[in-house]
């Protein structure tokens, strides 16, 4: 007895104008991300500092918005002001001490990569006899190696590695968008 269920075919129809706009935007954004990724790989310390400052401004902005909400709704409650104050303080620390911010981001990225490795290897173990378990194992090993590289290079190499990781990520995101835009052109014609 063969219990294999054939894959279902799904046909999705898109509006041609939306597909053309998506193709154009994905090619433009993909090209810009590729350029940004190459720039990030060329000057990784600058990209690391830029990421630290960007996160600082993001946290300060979130803190200001949270403070506005606390002012409008719970202006007498001290606990309502805790989050805005913490967001503004942590954001200010990232802005005034960008090198320490880069080191912090490198440690956070290391923790993320270690958790990603754990999750990928665990999923690979659960998938073992099925197709694709090897790719999950490969992903887990790569994440573990990247985390180990960051740990062993910390703190001296954190700015370079963090910038390289960001640059490589932007480059491949751009490449994926570029190829997606190019493939949507082929599908639109046929």
- Phi, psi (deg, nearest 5) at residue 114: -65, -40
d(CA 120, CA 132): 11
- Weakest-pLDDT range from 2-16, 43-57, 62-76: 2-16
Domain residue extents for the chain: 19-189
- pTM score: 0.72
Given pLDDT bands bounded at 50, 70 and 90, which one contains residue 2?
Answer: low
Encode pLDDT of 154-185 as tens digits: 889 999 999 999 899 889 888 888 888 887 75
What is the residue-averaged pLDDT of the chain? Answer: 87
DSSP, res 15: -
Other CB atoms closer than 10 Å to residue 180's CB: what's the count? 15
Query: What is the crossing angle of helices 44-73 and 158-189, to 10°?
Result: 80
Question: Do residues 116 and 150 touch, judged by C-beta distance below 8 A?
Answer: no
């Amino acid at each position: 007895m063969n219990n294999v269920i054939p894959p279902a075919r799904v046909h999705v129809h898109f509006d041609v104008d939306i597909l053309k706009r998506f193709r154009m935007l994905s090619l433009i954004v993909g090209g810009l991300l590729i350029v940004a990724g190459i720039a990030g790989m060329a000057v990784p310390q600058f990209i690391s500092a830029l990421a630290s400052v960007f996160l600082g401004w993001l946290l300060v902005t979130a803190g200001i918005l949270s403070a506005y909400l606390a002012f409008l709704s719970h202006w007498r409650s001290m606990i309502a002001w805790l989050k805005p104050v913490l967001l503004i303080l942590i954001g200010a620390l990232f802005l005034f001490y960008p090198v320490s911010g880069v080191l912090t981001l490198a440690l956070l990225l290391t923790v993320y990569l270690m958790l990603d490795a754990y999750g990928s290897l665990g999923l690979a173990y659960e998938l073992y006899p099925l197709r694709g378990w090897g790719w999950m194992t490969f992903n887990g090993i790569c994440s573990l190696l990247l985390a180990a590289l960051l740990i062993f290079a910390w703190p001296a190499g954190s700015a370079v590695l963090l910038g390289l990781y960001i640059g490589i990520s932007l480059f491949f995101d751009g490449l994926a968008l570029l190829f997606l835009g190019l493939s949507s052109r082929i599908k639109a014609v046929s």
